[in-house]
Structure 1
Amino acid sequence: MSLGIVLLFPFFTYIGIGFVAQRYLDKSEAALVWMDSFVFYIAMPALLFQTIIRAGHPTGEILVLLAATSAVTASLFLVSASVSRIRKKGLDPAVSGLVGAYSNIGYMGPILSVQIFGNDAGLPAAMIFCSEIVVVLTLWTVTTAGRVMSIRGIGVEIVKAVGHPFVLTVVIALIFVTADLSLATPIDATLTGLQNAAAPCALFSLGVTLGRQRRLDFTLDITASILMKLVLHPVLVGVGLWPLLAHQPIWLGTAILIASLPPAANVYVLASGAGRGARQAASGVMYGTIVSVVTVPLVIMFLMQKLVI
């Protein structure tokens, strides 16, 4: 437990600093645009690229990992959205699906995985991130379309998801690894510096985003979605993958750890951009992050005891 707290302390501290800074400095939302752009287009791609090229070549078993994690994410999204739709009030079904299934893998996943399991965790973390982006963004688009989409329409949305800057970065990195290419020392040093800036800037931005929410909800829908995300998600991934990847403890541990992470900050970004359930999305991200201060260290403690690495 203490190890998990020590490892997570900087992550939640960055969020807390951003939250406090927003409440006391109260800067406009426009002041955060350039930092978000830096994180989204520069720092996080540098982090993903460096993580993958240091992790080495993927194997065929990566498909098993991605199939299982994607299936669980898609299932939880649909279940969480269905619960809200049946209630016909409260949380928007699409937002509920995001809160119940979309891990904060972009800001926390690769960094935390490598910190706990070493550089070998970088590849599975990055690959899971790519599959999660494609699955979640496709389901979000289909759910918010307001109509039944054709197979072609769904295919178009999948292509858009694949065009995500993070996904493209992973593809480029895999090409480098496959071709056994190497970076010049000055370029490698520059990317490493950008990589190190990714976590503090991204998590500070998340804290600022949470600090801007003056009214937050705590409804039954939000509670159910948070429980699905923080408890059911890692349990299902563990049950599904343990028999298949017990001989790959780093990959197995990475998948379970990522599944245990709180709802992604992008839940709020997507909801706000679509003009539906933004306040509820912010509530889900904030309360999910707070509860994860307890649940994620418990998952880390379990993994460190059960996995032989």
Structure 2
Amino acid sequence: MLSFLSLCAPIFAIIGLGWAAARFRMVQPAMVDAVGTFSFHFALPALLLRLMGSQPLGHSFEPVFFAGYLAVCLSIFFATMLLALPWRRRGPAAALGAAAAMGNVGYLGPPLLLPLLGERGAGPIAMAIMSEVAVVLALGSLLMAPAMPGAGLRAMGRALRALLVNPVLLAIAGGALLGAAAIPLPGPVDRFLGFLGGAAGPTALFALGGTLGRLAVSRKLLAVAGGLSLAKLALYPLLVWLLLGVMLQRDGFWVQAGVMLAAMPTASNAFIMAQRNMAAAEEVSATVLLSTLLAAACFPLTAWLVTGPLAVP
């Protein structure tokens, strides 16, 4: 357990550094946004393209894992939404569902999983991004849109167009093609991608912390944020472990990867989507902050459990 804490502590410390820098106005919001843009548009795509392109597609992509992980993701999304519907309209209920189902797999996945699982961990990270970002983002945009004729379809159309030019998804597709064709990257290109991708972790974590520095958890929202954080950090990983490990009997590598990815805190993208659609933005904002704070302790515990007491052979 202590080894997992020592591994995760520096990663969450960088998030804390970004939070403090934004909270005490050592950096301006525009600077945090610029760091996040660099990480999302350049560093993270370079990292995923290089790692996925350097290994056979069958080594990094597992259809059963993808189907199982996506099934749990959608189950969490719709179950949370249905539970909220008696008290909320469709849009806010969908926003709460997204908060429980969308993890920060893009920013936190590489720095947390790659040291634990090695370069092969890029495959599960890519499949989790496709599940939680591509699928839930499109569904959330459709369901959160105002109840006006055609509004949902227009929102989903905008989301799908954004996904088609999403640099992370394009890098995943490019890496998968290189891996499938077994085309090695030329030495200078590999070194360039490695150097650029090396900046993905620190810049993403600092930008995440800076974004959290603008958010707050009010006492009146604590119960909602706590319930959603519990679903995201505990129920989601438990269901992934049950489905992939107990029911589908996947190899230990895939179970560990799936559970740890499911244990990621709520993504800031869920807040941006809720804010854009004016759907439970305050509740989702509080969940992003609270789940990230709790994940500093919960993620090492989950990683220890899934690689020790609850490990699948």
Same fold, TM exceeding 0.5? yes
Q: Deviations over 1:202-249 (max 9, x none)?
A: 111111111123564533222211111011000111111114654521
CA distance in 2, matches of 1:120, 1:296: 20
Q: Deviations over 1:154-212 (max 9, x none)?
A: 98455653542211111111111111112222221121122111111111111111112
Kindly provide the amino acid, as one letter, of the partner of residue 199 in structure 2. A
Structure 1 contact 55–123 (Cα < 8 Å) conserved? no
CA distance in 1, matches of 2:307, 2:60: 26
Residues 308 and 278 of structure 1: CA distance in aligned 2, closer, same or farther (over 3 Å): closer
1:144 Cα deviation after fit: 1.0
Residues 60 and 41 of structure 1: CA distance in aligned 2, closer, same or farther (over 3 Å): closer
Which stretches in structure 1 are left out of the alignment for 5+ residues? none
| Greater mean alpha carbon deviation, residues 142-151 or residues 60-69 | 142-151
Partner in structure 1 of residue 5 of structure 2? 5
Partner in structure 2 of residue 290 of structure 1? 293
1:17 Cα deviation after fit: 0.1
Partner in structure 2 of residue 174 of structure 1? 176
Residues 244 and 61 of structure 1: CA distance in aligned 2, closer, same or farther (over 3 Å): farther
Partner in structure 2 of residue 87 of structure 1? 87
Aligned to 1:262, what secondary structure does the other structure show?
coil
CA distance in 1, matches of 2:135, 2:300: 27
Percent of pairs with identical residues = 27
Map of 1:62-211 to 2, 5 A cutoff? 62-88=62-88, 92-147=92-147, 156=157, 158=160, 160-211=162-213
Residues 24 and 275 of structure 1: CA distance in aligned 2, closer, same or farther (over 3 Å): same
CA distance in 2, matches of 1:81, 1:294: 27
Structure 1 contact 142–149 (Cα < 8 Å) conserved? no
Which stretches in structure 2 are left out of the alignment for 5+ residues? none
Aligned to 2:58, what secondary structure does the other structure show?
coil
Aligned to 2:182, what secondary structure does the other structure show?
coil
CA distance in 2, matches of 1:61, 1:167: 14
Residues 151 and 264 of structure 1: CA distance in aligned 2, closer, same or farther (over 3 Å): closer
CA distance in 1, matches of 2:188, 2:78: 46
Kindly provide the amino acid, as one letter, of the partner of residue 14 in structure 2. Y
| Greater mean alpha carbon deviation, residues 18-27 or residues 134-143 | 18-27
Residues 308 and 78 of structure 1: CA distance in aligned 2, closer, same or farther (over 3 Å): closer
Aligned to 1:146, what secondary structure does the other structure show?
coil
1:64 Cα deviation after fit: 1.2
CA distance in 2, matches of 1:113, 1:277: 31
CA distance in 2, matches of 1:122, 1:45: 11
CA distance in 1, matches of 2:119, 2:312: 16
Residues 289 and 150 of structure 1: CA distance in aligned 2, closer, same or farther (over 3 Å): closer
**TM-score normalized by the length of structure 2:** 0.88
2:282 is equivalent to residue 307 of structure 1: no
Aligned to 2:267, what secondary structure does the other structure show?
coil
CA distance in 1, matches of 2:153, 2:33: 34
Aligned to 1:181, what secondary structure does the other structure show?
coil
Aligned to 1:14, what secondary structure does the other structure show?
helix
1:61 Cα deviation after fit: 7.5
2:280 is equivalent to residue 274 of structure 1: no
1:95 Cα deviation after fit: 2.5
Kindly provide the amino acid, as one letter, of the partner of residue 311 in structure 2. L
Map of 1:8-19 to 2, 5 A cutoff? 8-19=8-19
Kindly provide the amino acid, as one letter, of the partner of residue 138 in structure 1. A
1:99 Cα deviation after fit: 1.6
1:97 Cα deviation after fit: 1.2
Partner in structure 2 of residue 212 of structure 1? 214
CA distance in 1, matches of 2:65, 2:152: 26
Partner in structure 1 of residue 241 of structure 2? 238
Kindly provide the amino acid, as one letter, of the partner of residue 36 in structure 1. G
Residues 40 and 255 of structure 1: CA distance in aligned 2, closer, same or farther (over 3 Å): same
Structure 2 contact 81–96 (Cα < 8 Å) conserved? yes
